Structure 1
């Protein structure tokens, strides 16, 4: 049995094509919002949300039936219609280097989307490799409670603190200590992380 290779993709500026305009396609489009990908939906009909997103300029909706030309230049392709023959045609029309996921045929897909939690810079993905989407959903619900909204601001603090430590702290030993101590329950729950970090720095520096 082969295993999937987990990866986080930077899609900013890249073309992503979603074939289909129904609820499944809508979910795929919704998940792509915020990535800064150039999202194109190909379908003669579309849900109200897809139409609204197109009107707002957040995506492009091409009101047409699928043709192989629609895949030109696409980095990722979502075959998300309710017609198995069209979905398979999308897959067969893609170039070898293009990655395709088929909504109703995970075995023929090049990738699949895991259950996903986003807290600012924190991204947590859960996959059971197709064994049990229900278990993935349950695990996501547990993680959603464990990693609550506090983590969004905390990750921003960690990012800025790490940048400062790497750039401005010259002592290698102090640098290692600071990078270690900023990852703590105390700072996660702190009401004033900047002040607590400054105090830690003063306590640790030679």
Structure 2
């Protein structure tokens, strides 16, 4: 058996450390910030304009020097994104000694977790992973999914979430709730959202909720 366990992790307010200050580190920092993490970057320099801007805006904390053992203390998770193999290996060893999960970019053998390619449409998130074997394939699949699933799917997910909340408080039977949600899914809401007629989509959703089954 073996392989990776797919899981979505709540990073809101949690301390996360990124080692490195280049473009790869920037992408990792951006993803962590989007999830609400408290990010610390360890790097002698910030080599991209966006990293410098985030630092100036106090969106991240900076340790402006090369990595030292102990710099990851207190972190919930760590990403090492330097171009120095010896530094990345040191970070991985330090994290394991402290019981902190670590990702080392382009070195799956040093990773406790890997980061999938992701398509985000609001709260709808689609993840693609090859277990670290082919990032190129994961990227190509992500691009296909980005074309297939546009922003309208995020809006639909929000509407279905609202419908589910209403049904949980107003309909006792789980089977009945499921039937109503299926009715909503088959009511053409997606086409209305795509055409920009979101108010009508919401009206139709309410009609599906209020109309009796059968």
Deviations 1:80-129 (A, max 9, x none): 11111111111111135211111131112111111111000100010111
The alpha-carbon deviation at position 2 of structure 1 amounts to 2.2
Moved more, 159-168 or 127-136: 127-136
Give the ranges of 4+ consecutive aligned residues of structure 1 lying more than 4 Å apart after TM superposition. Answer: none
Q: What pairs up with 1:48-87 in 2 under 5 angstroms?
A: 48-87=49-88
Per the alignment, do residues 184 and 54 of structure 1 end up closer, same or farther by CA in structure 2, a change over 3 Å counting?
farther
Name the count of aligned residue pairs.
206
The alpha-carbon deviation at position 177 of structure 1 amounts to 1.5
Q: What pairs up with 1:120-199 in 2 under 5 angstroms?
A: 120-170=122-172, 172-184=174-186, 186-190=188-192, 191=197, 192-199=200-207
Deviations 1:32-85 (A, max 9, x none): 122111100001101221111011121112212211221111111111111111
Match of 2:21 in 1: 21
The alpha-carbon deviation at position 205 of structure 1 amounts to 4.6
Equivalent position SS for 1:2:
coil
Moved more, 163-172 or 29-38: 163-172
The alpha-carbon deviation at position 147 of structure 1 amounts to 0.8
Per the alignment, do residues 204 and 15 of structure 1 end up closer, same or farther by CA in structure 2, a change over 3 Å counting?
same
Equivalent position SS for 2:182:
helix
Q: Does the 8 A contact of 1:101 with 1:112 survive in 2?
A: yes
Per the alignment, do residues 23 and 201 of structure 1 end up closer, same or farther by CA in structure 2, a change over 3 Å counting?
closer
Q: Does the 8 A contact of 2:73 with 2:98 survive in 1?
A: no
Per the alignment, do residues 93 and 184 of structure 1 end up closer, same or farther by CA in structure 2, a change over 3 Å counting?
same
Q: Does the 8 A contact of 2:122 with 2:154 survive in 1?
A: yes
TM-score, structure 1 as length reference: 0.93
Q: CA RMSD for the aligned pairs?
A: 1.7
Structure 2 gap ranges (5+): none
Deviations 1:107-159 (A, max 9, x none): 12111111111000100010111222211111111110111010121111111
Per the alignment, do residues 172 and 88 of structure 1 end up closer, same or farther by CA in structure 2, a change over 3 Å counting?
closer
Moved more, 195-204 or 74-83: 195-204
